[in-house]
Amino acid sequence: MTRSLHIKAPAKLNAALSVGPPTDDGMHPICSWMLTIDLHDEMTLTSLEPDRLSRYAIMWHDDALQRRDIDWSLTTDLAVRAHQAIERHVGRPLPIQMKLEKRIPLGGGLGGGSSDAAAMLRGLNELFELSINDEVMEKIAAGLGSDVPFLVRGGSAMVEGTGERLEHLETIPEVHAVLILPEMGCATASVYRMLDDMDPTAVDASAVRSLVRSGFDTRRLFNDLAEPALEVGVGLRAIRDELAELAGSPVHVSGSGSTLFITCDDAVAATALSARITTTMGLATIPVSAIEQGKGILSSPS
């Protein structure tokens, strides 16, 4: 008998991100304070008969504000790779039909592909009653990308190493922000190459922990990838500067870019600023809030 599950895959923001120089294996160690927000992709998983082959469909959601060509091979898609990784872990096929409807922009530094992978892990665990605990799922996720382990549980966490060391924080700060989605994307690899050209210093975990202890303060948010992203994204710096003048507030880069964000006092202020930016500058914007992902992320599709 087949079953279906509907899963939300939330985007993430880096409230703080310190990045060190690459190690011998080419990986960059990080220390980051990550938060999940209420912008999400949607995934529907349907179990198939044991003798069936899995099939996957990836498309833009009807209300996605920014769309780029979905032109990558399915074999490289993170959600598909997550499916294969969990099949290897349990040692048997888990045939499914996946329908993934994306809202989170590509190349935006919001962790969309990573969140889709984490949603796949959570969904398969529920769909096939695998009883894999969060810690084991995070270990499986660590082989897929540095953001994926955090997005297994989401919420608020300190993330270190190459994403495999997690300290989940009990309190979710009240964070409201406007995401600004420029037309250009920032290729993550290009941003890291630019960072290397800037000769990064060691990871400063103490600065990240200090921010966590003092609470979410927009004046103290920082991102070591911001300057490289502003160099890589043609025209991104000019957009950032114009936004700062319009809002009268600091404008932050999300992850490796190109998404920018401005924090607000509350949801009403975020909605108003979002509309003002779109009207004045013609940019796609989304008001968002930090969320606790929690166990209620799974539901039957409507």
Q: Which residues are catalytic?
A: 12, 147
Between the CA of residue 53 and those of 50, 94, 98, 169, what are the distances in Å?
A: 8, 9, 12, 40
Question: Is residue 149 within 8 Å of residue 141, measured between CB atoms?
Answer: yes
Q: Which two tokens stand for residue 55?
A: 């099939």
Distance, in Å, from the CA atom of 132 to the CA atom of 145, rounded to the nearest integer, reads: 19
Identity of the amino acid at 209: R
Q: Which two tokens stand for residue 247?
A: 């809002």
Between the CA of residue 153 and those of 100, 106, 109, what are the distances in Å?
A: 19, 22, 19
CA 44 to chain centre: 19
Q: Under 8 Å CB-to-CB from 174, ≥6 apart: which residues?
A: 216, 289, 290
Look at the alpha carbons of 260, 265, 267, 272 in this order and tell me if their dihedral is positive or negative: negative
Q: Largest Cα–Cα distance in the chain? A: 60
